[in-house]
Amino acid sequence: MVIPTRNEAGNVEELERQLDSALGGVDYEVVVVDDSNDDVTRPALRAAAVRNPRWRVIERGQRDQTGLASAVVAGIDAARGMAVCVMDGDLQHPPAIVPQLLATISAGADLAVASRYMRGGSRAGLDGTLRNLVSRSCTWLAQGVFPEARRTSDPLSGFFCCRRAAIKGLELKPRGFKILLELLVCAPRLRVANVPFVFAARHAGESKASTRQGILFLGHLASLFVYVPGGAGPLKFAMVTLAGLAVFASLLYGLVHAGVHPLLAWLTGTAASAACTLALLQLAPFRELGRHGEPDGKRLYYAAASVSAVTSFAVFAILLVPGKHHLFLGAAVGQACGLLLTLTVNQPPVWRRLARMLRLVPRLDIDALARRLGAQEGFWITDHGDLSDPRLNLIGGVVTREMVATASRHQQPALFVERKSARPQARLNIETSSAIVVPSVDESGEVSAVAVFVRTSRSPFESRHLDEAIKWMASHGRLSPVIAESQVVA
């Protein structure tokens, strides 16, 4: 149980009592992350920790008090259970619902959300019509921007339970209250289930909701949109498409009215539109649009875009036959046909089928990945606890066997680059050794193998190579030890 608190002294004893009652027979711990600035809450929490060995209290200093969401992240990091349940300390989240959430996780869900917005649930505890309206509007906004948030009817709930292994390794950067939205967007493959609950009135204390929290929520949406490339795909696709169409329409209209031949105007507008689209796809927020999570995904995207351009031009040229239709109507119909084709190809089921047909999603082959990264050596370490594996000698002094074992133990990919010597004059022809280490996690959340890539070159590995290795391995599935042992590069 992870419970963020701030000035909740009046709720501590009742919260302890209700948790003990609800979780009888369950092996649990309570991690309270406290940001209180009054004189009574922390003594009350310390007393609870003294009389109840299940309770641990993390008292954050003023500098670390950056909001409820960061308090939840600190609590999750400190948690030790198989599942982590997050709830408020004001008893608006009834502890009696926790066993239902835990049972949902045990039944196979990665994330169980206590929802106010489903049959059997209620938001009766919200104060007044205005706060109800604001809550519902924020929910609609989050679900409208991020399809990932539609997997639950209450993406802004502060009451949820998750499988700890399913979120291990996520680097969460939430703002304000809405930690659940962060999980939904950053981990789109989590299996999500809803459990209805009635949002109760506060037992004691005052609500922390404020205008500032609303501003933080909007900032959180913006942060997820910009810094999670795979999130908000439909909206990002619409933005890129509309930008390309705006460039095309402006140039076509201007050039035709300037006396340029319609076909030449169309070609110029299309080329400029394509350049605009390509430029946007290089920006971080839009970088994953054409990839669909696959390292080679853009090949299919560009092929579809080319076919789309040919299709739109063919329709435009046919409709341009004298006496048929107006020039700009023909251009609009042509662009609509091309856009429809692009939209069709970008539907996940269609995209996956075409990718398999065109062999754009090969099975995970460490040989191919090593060539792609420009590595001289690439191999699997399947017994990652065995530091005597002779292949680790290939790494040289860049990374030690202990470092590989640490990357495996913490399930953390790593990039190692040899430290350059201090030279009064830099030389471009001096080779530097570097290595990439990426653990492969099986379905049970355990490391089944560790991929190691080594390069000795004037150009060492960079962070983009590490990102590419991680994405390649993530998109080709998790390996079993048997498969890993059979894929060793000489």
**The predicted structure's pLDDT at residue 397:** 60
- 329, 378: one domain: no
Distance of CA 43 to the CA centre of its chain: 38
- 179, 295: one domain: no
**The predicted structure's pLDDT at residue 196:** 93
Tell me if 129 is assigned to some domain.
yes
- 129, 220: one domain: yes
**The predicted structure's pLDDT at residue 265:** 84
CA distance 107 to 426: 60
Closest CA to 162 of 224, 100, 82, 91: 82
Q: How confident is the model at residue 238 (pLDDT cuts 50, 70, 90)?
A: confident
Angle between helices 211-227 and 179-186 (to 10 degrees): 10
Give exposure, 223-237, as e/b (b: 16+ Cβ within 10 Å): bbbeebbbbbbeebb
- 310, 459: one domain: no
User: What is the Cα gyration radius of the chain?
Assistant: 27
- 59, 203: one domain: yes
Domain stops at, among 227, 255, 281 = 227
Closest CA to 101 of 152, 149, 138, 33: 152
CA distance 48 to 52: 6
Summarize pLDDT for 124-147 with one digit per residue, the tens.
656 556 767 877 888 899 999 999
Percent of the chain with pLDDT over 90: 22
- 106, 159: one domain: yes
Tell me if 323 is assigned to some domain.
yes
Summarize pLDDT for 256-270 with one digit per residue, the tens.
888 888 888 888 988
**The predicted structure's pLDDT at residue 443:** 55
For residue 220, the surrounding DSSP H or E stretch is: helix 211-227
- For the segment 182-189, the average pLDDT, to the nearest whole number, is 88
Summarize pLDDT for 464-481 with one digit per residue, the tens.
898 888 887 776 654 333
Where in the sequence is the domain holding 382, given as residue range(s)?
366-420+427-485
Tell me if 340 is assigned to some domain.
yes
Neighbours of 215 (CB within 10 A): 12
Domain total in the chain:
3
Tell me if 490 is assigned to some domain.
no
The CATH number assigned to the domain holding 387 equals 3.30.450
pLDDT value at 394 more than 60 = no
- 331, 394: one domain: no
Compute the mean pLDDT over every residue in the chain, rounded to the nearest whole number.
79
Starting from the edge strand earliest in sequence, which strands make up the sheet with 30-34, in order?
Answer: 55-59, 30-34, 2-5, 83-86, 160-163, 111-115, 192-196
Q: Give yes or no for a contact between 231 and 149, defined as CB atoms under 8 angstroms apart.
A: no
CA distance 406 to 385: 10
- 129, 246: one domain: no
- 43, 177: one domain: yes
Q: Give yes or no for a contact between 111 and 102, defined as CB atoms under 8 angstroms apart.
A: no
Higher pLDDT, 151 or 261: 151
Summarize pLDDT for 331-357 with one digit per residue, the tens.
777 777 777 777 777 776 776 676 666
Q: Where are the alpha helices (DSSP H) in 346-479?
A: 348-357, 366-373, 401-409, 463-475
CA distance 31 to 118: 29
- 264, 389: one domain: no
- 124, 217: one domain: yes
Higher pLDDT, 389 or 31: 31
C-alpha angle 217/221/223, rounded to 5°?
Answer: 110
Q: How confident is the model at residue 427 (pLDDT cuts 50, 70, 90)?
A: low
The CATH number assigned to the domain holding 182 equals 3.90.550.10
Domain stops at, among 227, 249, 273 = 227
**The predicted structure's pLDDT at residue 484:** 35
Distance of CA 339 to the CA centre of its chain: 27
Tell me if 42 is assigned to some domain.
yes
pLDDT value at 486 more than 50 = no
- 264, 213: one domain: no
Domain stops at, among 322, 357, 392 = 357
C-alpha angle 382/408/174, rounded to 5°?
Answer: 140
Give exposure, 84-116, as e/b (b: 16+ Cβ within 10 Å): bbbbbbbbbbbbebbbebbebbeeebbbbbbbb
Q: How confident is the model at residue 159 (pLDDT cuts 50, 70, 90)?
A: very high
For residue 379, the surrounding DSSP H or E stretch is: strand 377-381
Predicted structure pTM score? 0.69
